Amino acid sequence: MSEPVTLEDIYQLFRASAEEFERRLRESDLRRAEMERKWVGGIKYKMNVGWVEA
């Protein structure tokens, strides 16, 4: 026979989901920052050689 679901079970599931969301959000922020760093670096390089995209 299966055990009934308790509020504690639901809370633990919610907490695990929230932790996973936070982890993915941090990873996304790191990827975005890296892309911005590379993009800005590329624009600076283009400006240094006299070729600027509008």
- What is the spatial distance between Cα 35 and Cα 49, in angstroms, rounded to a whole number? 21
- Residue 54's pLDDT is 43
Where residue 50 falls (left for φ over 0; alpha for ψ -120 to 50; beta otherwise) is left
Residue 20 token pair: 């996973």
Total domains in the fold of the chain? 1
Q: What is the pLDDT of residue 35?
A: 83
pTM of the model: 0.60
Its domain, for residue 54, covers 1-54
pLDDT tens digits, residue range 1-54? 589 999 999 999 999 999 999 999 999 999 988 888 877 655 555 555 555 554
